[in-house]
Amino acid sequence: MPEFVRIRAPMDEAAVLSLRAGQKVLISGVLYSGRDATHKRMIELIQKGEPLPFDLKGQIIYYLGPTPARPGQVIGSAGPTTSSRMDPYMLPLYEKGLKGTIGKGNRSQEVIDLIKKYKAVHFSNIGGAAALIAKSIKKCDMIAFKDLGTEAIYRLEVEDFYCIVAYDSEGNDLYKEAMARYGR
Amino acid sequence: MRQIEAKTITECVERLCIEANYNLNEDLIEALEGAQRKEESPVGIEILTQLIENARIGRKGTYPVCQDTGFAVIFVKIGQGLEIMGGDLYEAITRGVAQGYKKGYLRASIVRDPLARVNTGDNTPPVIHTEVVPGDNLQLTVMAKGGGCENMSRATMLIPAKGKQGVIDFVVDTARRGAISACPPIILGVGIGGTLEMSTLLAKKALLRPVGRSHQDSTTNELERELLEKVNDLGIGPQGWGGRTTALAVHVEKYPCHIASLPVAVNVECHSHRVKTIVL
């Protein structure tokens, strides 16, 4: 098995279904940033029946609030924030076709079940490696919610963006397997 | 009486905020390198290697080591023989934080009202803890405290009958529940005793000790080693992807407490442990 699986974002269903918890992946393509306040606002739009700033079908949301870019930088430091804080917002997003999420840490059983039900995937990347991660982001444009500052939605073009599959579409769980293997 | 200008305090806080976020301390780097040598999990070693590389990039001064550049928590030790001229101490510190976060291209992560949640835009206000001490020096410590790991912190009021085992169970359970989301390898600050708020402050102050430096009291040091071993036996590992390094260190501080109480607080800190101190 190759050390890395290369995938394109947005993802097609075949790609999502082929991924397994514990696999290392390199993502190239487009990601959208979003964290707490971003999610709250997106859910409010869905509840009001208004359109979202981007079509969620097949997309990956990266749980990110970057530091301000210096002149000449594409983006500032850009590591992941805690995934579980977005757990309460997930159902309407999967209903709208969201296929992937990237963040640090584990998720609730409810979300693991939703990932399985909606044939989605959750990736984890290295929390706190934010300076290093910034180098795989090649383009960054703010597309919505400018007033939220770091919590605005940024459209990110990434190349060989390093992640691991944390939860796959069959309900496998990287974290549980890891603890069972190394715990004493 | 020795005098110090408020303006000097502002300049120092500004500089410490920037340095903390770009230049991780050597004790932390050594702890990461030590963990890298001992880690059994291949992916764990890979993560630790990337974190050391990330710290190296940070030192170049253009990318902060983490995008969460923290809540600015300022510990002030002010000598009672010192007079501050030309301004208010807390205003001087707050201005230093605002300037440091702006000039250092650091993230504004503070909302004015915890329920209305509108960003203040300059990462103020800071949290300031002040101690009055003998002498005429001013010691300023800036801790840039990440929100993700702070969220995994807990406090409890045990009954005295729970004793040492109760403390161990609470600390290990805190790590079991929270370490995965707190950017492991973590550092745990544990405060035992005092009152509710005293235990939490002790836990945070425990994090100020250089990473992994033993407590001078041998009983406390023994407890720290026992806690570290038990936390690492959870197998959570770097980033929760599995391994033997869940925590780099556990630091314990104690204080006398009421005959009815056994307060315990655990302050969870990520591997991106950012602390800078200056003595004026």
Phi and psi based region of residue B242 (left: phi greater than 0; alpha: psi -120 to 50; beta: remaining): left
Six token digits for residue B66: 């983490």
Distance from the Cα of B133 to chain A's closest Cα (Å) equals: 36
Where in the sequence of chain B do the CATH 3.30.360 domains occur?
A: 2-20+64-145
User: B-chain residues within 8 Å CB-CB of A175?
Assistant: 180, 236, 240-241
Q: For residue B71, what are the β-bridge partners?
A: B145
Q: Is the pLDDT of residue A30 over 90?
A: yes
pLDDT tens-digit profile of B156-191? 999 999 999 999 999 999 999 999 999 999 999 999
Instruction: Give the pLDDT score at A177.
Output: 96
For residue A177, give the H/E element and its range: helix A174-182
| Number of inter-chain CB pairs under 8 A, A vs B | 149
| H helices present in chain B, as ranges | 6-22, 26-38, 42-59, 89-103, 147-150, 163-178, 196-206, 218-232
Within an 8 Å CB–CB cutoff, is residue B40 touching chain A? yes
Identify the closest residue of chain A to B67 by CA–CA distance.
A77
Q: For residue B278, what are the β-bridge partners?
A: B140
Q: Which ipTM value was assigned to this complex?
A: 0.96
Distances (CA, A) of A104 to A24, A101, A130, A167: 15, 10, 12, 12
Instruction: Give the pLDDT score at A2.
Output: 60
Amino acid present at B104: G
- Cβ atoms of B247 and B188 within 8 Å: the answer is yes
Amino acid present at B38: K
Six token digits for residue B11: 């300049």
What gap in Å lies between CA B86 and CA B89, rounded to an integer?
9
Mean pLDDT to the nearest integer, A140-147: 98
Identify the closest residue of chain A to B118 by CA–CA distance.
A148
- Cβ atoms of A77 and A134 within 8 Å: the answer is yes
A 97-156 near B (Cβ less than 8 A) = 104-106, 124, 126-132, 134, 148-151
Six token digits for residue A27: 């993502």
Fold of B2-20+64-145: Dihydrodipicolinate Reductase; domain 2 (3.30.360)
pLDDT tens-digit profile of A44-78? 999 999 999 999 999 999 999 999 999 999 999 99
Q: Is the pLDDT of residue A1 over 90?
A: no
Phi and psi dihedrals of B156, rounded to 5?
-150, 160
A 42-71 near B (Cβ less than 8 A) = 64-70
With a threshold of 0.90, does the pTM exceed it?
Answer: yes
Within an 8 Å CB–CB cutoff, is residue B131 touching chain A? no
pLDDT tens-digit profile of B18-59? 999 999 999 999 999 999 999 999 999 999 999 999 999 999
Asked if A106's CB is within 8 angstroms of B241's CB, the reply is no
Q: Is the dihedral of CA A72, A36, B206, B46 positive or negative?
A: negative
Asked if B50's CB is within 8 angstroms of A126's CB, the reply is yes
Domains of chain A: 5-181 (3.20.130.10)
A 153-182 near B (Cβ less than 8 A) = 164, 174-175, 177-182
User: B-chain residues within 8 Å CB-CB of A178?
Assistant: 41, 235-237, 240-243
A contact test, residue of B29, B43, B52, B67 with most A CBs within 10 A: B67
Asked if B181's CB is within 8 angstroms of A68's CB, the reply is no
What gap in Å lies between CA B246 and CA B153, rounded to an integer?
15
- Helices B42-59, B26-38: crossing angle, 10 deg rounding: 160
Within an 8 Å CB–CB cutoff, is residue B172 touching chain A? no
Tell which residue, A181, A174, A178, has the closest CA to residue A21. Answer: A174
